[in-house]
Amino acid sequence: MRHYGSFLLMKIVSACLAGVNCRYDCKHQERNEIVEMVKSGQALPVCPEQLGGLSTPREPAEIQGDKVISKSGKDVTSEYLLGAEQALKLAKISGATEALLKSKSPMCGHGKIYDGTYSGKLIDGDGIFANLLKKNGIKVKSID
């Protein structure tokens, strides 16, 4: 862990990368290095979708314009916005300076996200949570 005076630099991580079965398909994308960071107290796992009230499993969703729409056409924008805000609160409380987030996700993706057509095509952009973190001065990195 890195300390600056009495201040600990914490990271926020996508909970699915820490092995939590919280993805839309009720699976995880566990990465050993992320699990070790959480175990050692260097990282706090969050799942903004769950914090926004979405169930696991849930329908996949993608960003379409300024909305987040599930594969069947349900608007889940409000849940995404709420979850991102709640996860940001946790980031701020923990003193996080950096986030390691799951790539391509409409919530956590950074730099590239799915294009909203459910075709697997990627476009330049950020997910809802990644964008909110960046606006609040927290550095975001994507993990595949």
pLDDT at 8: 58
Q: How does the average pLDDT of the chain come out, rounded?
A: 94
Is 7 a residue whose pLDDT tops 90?
no
Torsion angle (degrees, nearest 10) of CA 81, 143, 56, 68: 30
Helix, strand, coil percent values for the chain (each to nearest 5): 30, 30, 40
Q: What is the mean pLDDT of residues 65-89?
A: 98
| Cβ atoms of 48 and 108 closer than 8 Å | yes
pLDDT one-digit tens code per residue, 32-47 = 999 999 999 999 999 9
User: pLDDT, tens digit, for every residue of 8-31?
Assistant: 569 999 999 999 999 999 999 999
Q: pLDDT > 90: what percent of the chain?
A: 94
**For residue 105, pLDDT beyond 50:** yes
Q: Note whether 13 and 40 are within 8 A (CB).
A: no
**Residue-range domain boundaries for the chain:** 3-143
Instruction: Report the pLDDT value the prediction gives residue 4, as an integer from 0 to 100.
Output: 44
| pLDDT at residue 3, as a whole number | 46
